[in-house]
Amino acid sequence: MEHEAVKRIYAGYSNVYDILFKRFFYPRIRHAIASMDIKPGDRVLDVGVGTGLSLDLFNKDASVVGVDLSHEMLKQARAKVDSLGMKNVTLLEMDAMNLSFEDDSFDKVFISHVVSVVPDPCRVMSEVRRVCKDRGKVVIVNHFKSRNKMVAGFQKVFNPISKRIGWRSDLCMDSFLSNCGLKIDKTETLKKIDFWQLIYGTNFK
């Protein structure tokens, strides 16, 4: 997935993203954020905030910064922020592989449906670890390749089509975790059969 392709695809999704995907994504996002133990005064980074599906779930006494590559998706997020009066939320157009924040800027980082979209997931995680404080919490929600060989084979065949509609279908979770640099506290799914994984990690520097 290259930057310009990502921008073009998600600009096209921007007006219908919530209609198409909220049913699938929102329950996992809600569960993941509820598990982050966000405290008043925490500074939280939401990487790939998109249309802002996550924003009403964060602690209102925390400072939340949401970043996304897509200008059009951020327009939808800003409309939510304005309509709900979210004074604690700042939204910025930014590349997740080149975050323009100082080191150790955030207490917690949330990454939802991003690592299978970006050109280099490891670069994203390197940036996330840089801007997250030592022992800060990082939570990832993402689709990964199935461990079932038959299903994984289908995902590999489907991957060229999947990339055309916005994400890779063949990203291996084990390989991703071994290279992401976090101490992985746990992984879980919300359903017995679920391609979306919730990953909870701690950033040790």
Question: Over the stretch 47-75, which tens digit does the pLDDT of each residue have?
Answer: 999 999 999 999 999 999 999 999 999 99
Domain boundaries along the sequence of the chain = 3-203
Tell me the two tokens of residue 118: 């970006």
CATH architecture of 3-203: 3-Layer(aba) Sandwich (3.40)
Q: Are 6 and 69 in contact (CB under 8 A)?
A: yes
What is the phi/psi pair of residue 171, to 5°? -75, 125
Whether residue 164 has pLDDT greater than 60: yes
Q: What is the pLDDT of residues 124-153, one digit of tens each?
A: 999 999 999 999 999 999 989 877 777 766
pTM for this predicted structure: 0.92
Give Dmax (Cα) for the chain: 48
Among 165, 164, 46, smallest CA distance to 94 is for: 46
Q: How far apart are CA 143 and CA 122, in angstroms?
A: 16
